């Protein structure tokens, strides 16, 4: 389940990697950095930001920073997860985007000599400085957020990311079947329901707010009657239209895919006619 927990409402919705930074600022240097509701590891996780994400630093307290991500979400992040900089990372120039569900980055163009420096999730963007071949394998040299250089296999990255169509988006969604549900998750290491739909619609070229109730209210979406659903629509569930707690992607034939904790905590395909979901269905949306 996923709903808003008193976090900032979306004002604008640029891509995760492209927004106007104000000082001070930082870049996420962990594969998926947690954002908490308060500056403590004991506080609940409200969201995440993936490796290479540019963030604004709103406040600092001891080892913590209150940050704002490009989708206008705020939370407290451990400062060790950030590289403070005055320049946005991978926002322009020769930029590659990870298309594998996970991709390992190495200190040299060889997978055998050393373990990866870091393994980053799907959608990570990296600054590319050089391309070479190591045997039969093409590699990209990348500059990391901290200024160090490293290598990633070319097959994990696209240099020309583009928008997906509806069938491609549904195919992508199914690649995550069985992946773990993670409250606050926004990466291939684990998604929650709205983190999953936010990612899928971003790949579709539509930028959505972070939480399910915010998404249902977003002005980039139009209301759809349940009997007029078509593949690619978003479906919403909860106690009422004013208390939305879950969302998923309708894939046709009366089924939707979502990151859910119902029965088992994984990304799964479920029928709208399932009594649990039929009772909770409250709304559907489609891009305008």
- 9 within a domain of the structure (yes/no): no
Is the domain of 171 the same as that of 277? Answer: yes
* CATH number reported for the structural domain that contains residue 228 in this entry: 3.90.1720.10
Is the domain of 182 the same as that of 270? Answer: yes
* CATH number reported for the structural domain that contains residue 105 in this entry: 2.30.30.40
- Tens digits of residue pLDDT in 99-149: 999 999 999 999 999 999 999 999 999 999 998 876 678 999 999 999 999
Is the domain of 170 the same as that of 235? Answer: yes
Tally of domains in the chain:
3
pLDDT at 86: 86
Q: 70: exposed, middle or buried (C-beta count within 10 Å: 0-12, 13-18, 19+)? A: buried
- 140 within a domain of the structure (yes/no): yes
Q: Sign of the CA dihedral 109, 154, 145, 38?
A: negative
pLDDT over 90, % of the chain: 89
Is the domain of 60 the same as that of 116? Answer: no
End-to-end CA distance of the chain: 26
Q: What is the token pair recorded at 266?
A: 């994984």
- 60 within a domain of the structure (yes/no): yes
Residue where a domain stops, chosen among 35, 65, 84: 84
Q: pTM of this prediction? A: 0.90
The percent of the chain in helix, strand and coil, each rounded to the nearest 5, is 15, 40, 45
- Tens digits of residue pLDDT in 27-55: 999 999 999 999 999 999 999 999 999 99
- 4 within a domain of the structure (yes/no): no
Is the domain of 271 the same as that of 196? Answer: yes
Q: What is the token pair recorded at 46?
A: 């409200």
* Helix and strand element counts for the chain (H, E): 4, 22
pLDDT at 134: 65
Which residue range(s) make up the domain with 149? 95-158
Is the domain of 47 the same as that of 70? Answer: yes
Q: Are 145 and 113 in contact (CB under 8 A)?
A: no
Q: Are 184 and 34 in contact (CB under 8 A)?
A: yes
- 264 within a domain of the structure (yes/no): yes
Q: 92: exposed, middle or buried (C-beta count within 10 Å: 0-12, 13-18, 19+)? A: exposed
Is the domain of 187 the same as that of 248? Answer: yes
Residues composing the chain: 288
Residue 12 reports pLDDT greater than 80 = no
The CA–CA distances, whole Å, from 116 to 95, 109, 113, 205 equal: 20, 11, 9, 31
If we measure between CA atoms, which residue out of 168, 90, 92, 101 comes closest to residue 126? 90
Cβ atoms < 10 Å from Cβ of 73: 24
Residue-by-residue DSSP string for 45-102: EEEEEETT-EEEEEEEETTEEEEE-TTS-EEEEEGGGEEE-SS-SSSSSSEEEE-SSE
């Amino acid at each position: 389940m996923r709903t808003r927990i008193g976090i900032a409402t979306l004002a604008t919705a640029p891509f995760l990697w492209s927004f106007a930074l104000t000082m001070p600022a930082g870049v996420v240097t962990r594969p998926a950095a947690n954002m908490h509701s308060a500056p403590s590891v004991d506080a609940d996780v409200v969201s995440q930001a993936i490796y290479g994400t540019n963030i604004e630093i709103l406040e600092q307290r001891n080892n913590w920073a209150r940050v704002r991500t490009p989708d206008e979400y705020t939370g407290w992040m451990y400062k060790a997860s950030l590289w403070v900089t005055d320049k946005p990372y991978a926002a322009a120039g020769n930029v590659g985007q990870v298309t594998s569900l996970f991709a390992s980055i190495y200190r040299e163009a060889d997978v055998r000599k050393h373990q990866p420096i870091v393994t980053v999730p799907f959608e990570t963007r990296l600054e590319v400085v050089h391309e070479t071949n190591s045997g039969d394998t093409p590699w990209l040299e990348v500059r990391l957020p901290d200024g160090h250089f490293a290598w990633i296999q070319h097959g994990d990255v696209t240099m020309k990311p583009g928008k997906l169509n509806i069938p491609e988006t549904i195919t992508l969604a199914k690649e995550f079947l069985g992946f773990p549900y993670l409250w606050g998750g926004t990466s291939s290491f684990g998604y929650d329901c709205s983190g999953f739909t936010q990612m899928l619609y971003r790949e579709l070229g539509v930028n959505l707010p972070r939480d399910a109730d915010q998404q249902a209210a977003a002005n980039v979406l139009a209301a759809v009657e349940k009997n007029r659903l078509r593949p690619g629509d978003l479906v919403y569930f909860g106690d009422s239209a004013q208390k939305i707690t879950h969302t998923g992607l309708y894939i046709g034939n009366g089924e939707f895919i979502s990151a859910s904790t119902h029965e088992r905590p994984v990304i799964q395909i479920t029928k709208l006619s399932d009594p649990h979901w039929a009772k909770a269905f409250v709304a559907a949306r489609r891009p305008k």
